[in-house]
Structure 1
Amino acid sequence: MKLQTQVPLNKATNQIDYSSQLVVLGSCFANNIGDKLAYYKFRALQNPFGILFHPLAIENLISRAIQQKQYTEEEVFFLNERWQCYDAHSDLSSVRKEELLGSLNSGLLETKLWIAKASHVFITLGTAWTYQLKESGKEVANCHKVPQMVFKKQLLSIDRIVQGLKDMLHLIQAVNTKVKIVLTVSPVRHLKDGFVENQQSKAHLISAVHQIIKTGNATYFPSYELMMDELRDYRFYGNDLVHPNDLAVNYIWEKFKTVWISETSYKTMDEVAAIQKGLDHRPFSQESEKHKEFLKTLGNKITNLQKEYPFMKF
């Protein structure tokens, strides 16, 4: 008896291993995958400007990073006792203007350096809905709780998304001809836009992404389809009934691992996971001989792993 439809998956060529260098950009689901890669100590740059939901925000980051177009005082503003920038998530906001500008410009440099040496770039698109400043026409990455009357909300056309993706890929490949680019659509539903509007948004993203895939310049990982078709139950969602819960994230991660991570890395991943669990261990008594012996064994495991992979930090 078959009780679940299965999304067909094939192992990717040029899979990830511990020699890979990864860039992960995009919506909050990019953070879910990025956090897993970080947990297993793969080398990865994850969303240096924070979560970026729509394609034009990601395109803007890549473009400014590669062209090294630095941020200036005119591009930040003071609101709710913090300095903000429309191009970045509020996670980067600061009480000091100089600190925000420093974070933005160091983020641009870091992004360029990582893209130039990356083996893989993963881009996750969350929504096709954007907010545009009425005064300047600028598309913003984050509204920062600025009154909605300041913005014009619009749905990006499929053609505009396709063009944005083409520009992204061209910029990346101009500085890194060997990089593997992987596109995916976030399974997180943006229900604040409306139920029908969210479906329309995802349809635009998926249609645009597959036009790009046909050119052969990128590949696709079906995270959206896995959530919609294999995890068709609210027990796989968080309390908000919008975001995938830990069980769903782990499920999609296992699928991602099967497709994108080389089996030669599995043993090392298990060793890293064992260390991570050891570091999370909370003893009844920190002064006991048993715990001291445990810490010594754990330290030896870390030392041995770092001899092979010096970049790993615990």
Structure 2
Amino acid sequence: MQFRTQIAISKSNYPIDYNSKIMSLGSCFAVNMAEKLDYFKFQNSCNPVGILFHPLAIEKLIDFAVSGKQFTDNDIFFHNERWHCFDVHSDLSNSNKKELIYNLNAIIKSINQQIKESTHFIITYGTSWVYRNIKSDSIVANCHKVPQKQFKKELLSVEKIKKSVTNTVKLIHAVNPDCKIIFTVSPVRHIKDGFVENQWSKANLISAIHSVINTDYCKLITEYFPSYEIMMDELRDYRFYAEDMLHPNQVAIDYIWERFKETSISETVFSAMDEVESIQKSLLHKPFNPDSESHLKFESKLREKITKLENQYSFMKF
């Protein structure tokens, strides 16, 4: 007897393996999946300028990197004793103006190289709601706790999102025509926007993404992974949410990861992933007696396992 419906997900035509170089961009759910990729020692980079929630923010970042643009004094502002940039997360904010600009440009240069070298992009959109800075008449990625009266809240239309998604794909493929792009919508509920407004926002994202990936230009280079749909339909119970009842809890994250693994990661690396997981768990082991013979043997075997994997995959470091 089945007590839930399971979403049918087609296996990827371009599965990820340990030769893949992955760049993850987007909402906090992108971070959740990237942490799994990091845990299993894939070659993965995630959100070099911090979490980005909406399509226009991701498009602008890719455009900056691909075009080789530089951040200047005009791109930053002073607020609450720190310098900020509306295009990046507050994690990068700095009390030193020159240091912030230097760091931003160093990151952009690094992203340019990563875009050229990546085999896979995983792009996770969180919302269609955006904030437009009234003074500059530009949509920001992060408000940095600047007073709300300085912004106007807008909902991106399906057409605007379609244009942004298409531009993002074209920008990436202008410098890396062989890479594949996996789009997904974050299952995190943005209830501060309102219950109806959150669903409206997600609907616009889903409609736009599917319109783009089904075009002749994109259907051979893009795929969709249904993170949002898994949360809404397979895990439709509050026991799969964190205490805030908005974010997926660890059980949900683990389950969505398993669905991603079985459909988007090559079966040829499953045994290596098991070896990595065995090592990761062993590294967390705390012995009762560190000097005992049994523990010394345990450590010796663990070192052998690590050496074997690091010799096989030079990029792995434990």
Q: Does residue 155 of structure 2 align to residue 168 of structure 1?
A: no
SS in 1 for 2:22: strand
> Within 2, Cα distance between the matches of 1:47 and 1:58?
10
Equivalent of residue 256 in structure 2, options 249, 252, 255: 252
Equivalent of residue 267 in structure 2, options 259, 263, 268: 263
Aligned residues: 314
Question: Cα distance, 1:43 vs. partner?
Answer: 0.3
SS in 2 for 1:16: coil
* Residue in structure 2 matched with residue 125 of structure 1 by the alignment: 125
Q: What is the identity percentage for the equivalent residue pairs of Structure 1 and Structure 2?
A: 54
Letter in 1 for 2:206: I
* Residue in structure 2 matched with residue 294 of structure 1 by the alignment: 298
* Residue in structure 2 matched with residue 19 of structure 1 by the alignment: 19
For residues 225-264 of structure 1, what are the alpha-carbon distances to aligned partners after superposition, in whole Å with 9 as ceiling and x for unaligned?
0000000000000000000000000000000001100111
SS in 2 for 1:77: strand
> Within 2, Cα distance between the matches of 1:237 and 1:54?
22
Question: Cα distance, 1:302 vs. partner?
Answer: 1.1
* Residue in structure 1 matched with residue 38 of structure 2 by the alignment: 38
Equivalent of residue 281 in structure 1, options 271, 280, 285: 285
Long gaps (5+) in structure 1: none
Taking only aligned residues, the RMSD between alpha carbons, in angstroms, comes to 1.3
> Within 2, Cα distance between the matches of 1:274 and 1:100?
40
> Within 2, Cα distance between the matches of 1:103 and 1:244?
32
SS in 1 for 2:78: strand
> Within 1, Cα distance between the matches of 2:259 and 2:98?
42
Long gaps (5+) in structure 2: none
Equivalent of residue 312 in structure 2, options 265, 284, 308: 308
* Residue in structure 2 matched with residue 203 of structure 1 by the alignment: 203
For residues 81-138 of structure 1, what are the alpha-carbon distances to aligned partners after superposition, in whole Å with 9 as ceiling and x for unaligned?
3322111111212232233223311221121111112111111100000001000111
* Residue in structure 2 matched with residue 134 of structure 1 by the alignment: 134
Letter in 2 for 1:75: D
> Within 2, Cα distance between the matches of 1:301 and 1:5?
40
**Higher mean C-alpha deviation, range 144-153 or range 70-79:** 70-79
**Higher mean C-alpha deviation, range 269-278 or range 126-135:** 269-278
* Residue in structure 2 matched with residue 241 of structure 1 by the alignment: 245
TM-score (normalizing by structure 2): 0.96
> Within 1, Cα distance between the matches of 2:139 and 2:91?
19
**Higher mean C-alpha deviation, range 106-115 or range 278-287:** 278-287
Letter in 1 for 2:295: H
